[in-house]
Amino acid sequence: MQNLQYNPWLIHLMAHLLASDQYSPVNVVLSIGGNPFPDAPPRFIKADLYRYKFTRIGSEDKNWWIRSNQQPYSPIFELKSPQLKSILRQMEWKMPKVPMRS
């Protein structure tokens, strides 16, 4: 199974989602496709690992696939998290700019 350490880009993405920096490439893409956090960025974020299996053709199940939760994929991060800041520093990524929150 995959591990978060092999996909550090996901941590970078999570940091940008938490910061909601309007100039971030992440938010530029979200503005085109619809921002899932229109009122305020999330305070916390995490990722879980799921396994997907396609359902059989002709089965009575109307779903295309069945998913099952395998394990947590990341810890729960918040923007002030020392763990998140440490990972960004190790990867030599800048902390995203954080707008003032109301």
Instruction: Tell me the residue type at 74.
Output: S
Model pLDDT for residues 24-83, shown as the tens digit of each residue: 777 777 777 677 777 888 899 999 999 999 988 887 878 888 899 999 999 999 999 999
What pTM was computed for the model? 0.75
Look at residue 62 in the predicted model and tell me its pLDDT: 80
Name beta bridge partners: 53. 66
92: left (phi over 0), alpha (psi -120 to 50) or beta: left
